[in-house]
Amino acid sequence: MPFVNVKITSGASVEQKAQIVREMTDTLVRVLGKKPEHTHIVIDDVAPENWGFSGMLTTEYRKLHPK
């Protein structure tokens, strides 16, 4: 029973999350021969102020590096 935990910062739409679940499930079926009904994908939607990298919170990083 594959269990995949995906952590992303908040902002993804329901459609984008559904696509992540579909494509990760399809990959496990194709590569490992797993059954879709036994495959679990959990998306943890983390607020940017609760995610840090490069020595700062994501909110700080985004202020310094706008898209």
pLDDT at 67 over 90: no
CATH, domain range 3-64: 3.30.429.10
Residue 23: per-residue pLDDT: 98
pLDDT mean over 14-29? 98
Residue 14: per-residue pLDDT: 97
Domain layout of the chain by residue ranges? 3-64
> Which residues touch 39 (CB under 8 Å, ≥6 apart)?
1, 2, 4, 24, 25, 28, 29
- Phi-psi sector, 23: left (phi>0), alpha (psi -120 to 50), beta: alpha
Question: What is the DSSP secondary-structure string of 3-24?
Answer: EEEEEEES---HHHHHHHHHHH
Q: What is the pTM of this model?
A: 0.85
pLDDT mean over 32-50? 97
CA 40 distance to own-chain centroid: 13
